[in-house]
Amino acid sequence: MKLKKTLAMIIGAAIAVSSFAACSDKDGEKESGSGTSQTEETPEEIRDITSWDLVKEMKTGWNLGNTMDATGGSGVDAETSWGNKETSKEMIDLLKSSGFNVLRVPVSWGTHMDDQYNVDEAWMARVKEIVDYGIDNDMFVILNTHHEEWYFPTAENKDEDIKQLTALWTQIAEEFKNYDEHLIFEGLNEPRLRNTPSEWTGGDDSSRAIVNEYAKAFYDTVRNSGGNNAKRHLMITGYAASSNRSCLEAIDLSDFDDKVIVSVHAYLPYSFALDTKGTDVFDPATDASSIDTLFADLNDLFLSKNIPVIVGEYGCVNKYNPEERIECVEYYLNAAKQAGVPCIWWDNGAIVGNGENFGLMDRSLPPAWKFQEIVDAIMSVYSE
């Protein structure tokens, strides 16, 4: 980020933080998506609707991956530390003009907090600037915590984890308290027992229960903050955001209101969509069953009870097989659309190579779609 731009954001943010909260004196004006100017002292009008109704307004989305969630470098330089370009307004304008109406902004916060859990002012200001790119385009924006190394769902760690989680969401909630329903908070991303044999196998009863405690702390913190946050729509994540039925069944929503959304990640079928050493062929006759099972489980556990779900991450890596990827995307999204579940493509900016190449957008200026045919396939599902 250019130094002048960074300095302007720091001055404009003027966030005063304490050990558990950051209160911002917002004076100045913000342009809303409708083009009407209003002071940030005044909350934007927020509709009092259920998440079930809100999610019906969402079509399809895109993740700003490996960007604000990158953990290299220091300060605002972390944004580009994993090799992606600085996020531009033009990128988000391209999303909007292409038909996406949901932007998920993954953010790593732990590397931008001091030992009293205060968030760096410049980092918060940069996050806000990117969120506004989406809000000003009349998009739904999902803001989360991502690649956090500090939460680890065990009995020994949970108290301090909840202390830090509460401190963090107190500050985020304060910063964004005046935004309307287009801004959605997602408390955690894939909370799990990292680097253990059960990391990706569903954890155990204890870890899944502790993830529920994290979710409750996130929910209570936001609900008890000011402005529009009493009506803020919140995404609740189970263990590892897993689509495994045992993890989905463990999600406890019993103490929440009707403004919550279940968050799930599902790269399916795994061998084709995520496993870089797996197959490059999508065969509906054999591969569609995992997709069908996902939406059947979501319907059984949540949708049939008017509890909305968002697939916060999906996609299929580039194995130099565009036709196969298109076929998978169309099958996946048609199933999701029929179920009423918006899906958000994971774009990590990686285009070619042997890794997890989920990139669709060339983020150079001017930005452009590297795989226009996949974007077209996504939009074809929602054109009717």
Q: Which residues are identified as catalytic?
A: 190, 313
- The three-point CA angle 334-266-159 to 5° equals 140
- In whole angstroms, give the CA distance from residue 86 to residue 84: 7
Query: Which run of H or of E encompasses 310?
Result: strand 309-314
Within 10 A of 150 (CB to CB), how many other CB atoms are there? 16
Q: Which of 93, 80, 175, 174 is nearest to 134 (CA)?
A: 93
Give alpha helix (H) positions in the chain: 3-13, 51-55, 89-98, 121-135, 158-175, 205-223, 245-250, 270-273, 284-301, 322-339, 372-381
Helix (H, G, I), strand (E, B) or coil at 99: coil
Annotate 210-232 with b (16+ C-beta within 10 A) or e (fewer): bbbbbbbbbbebbbebebbbeeb
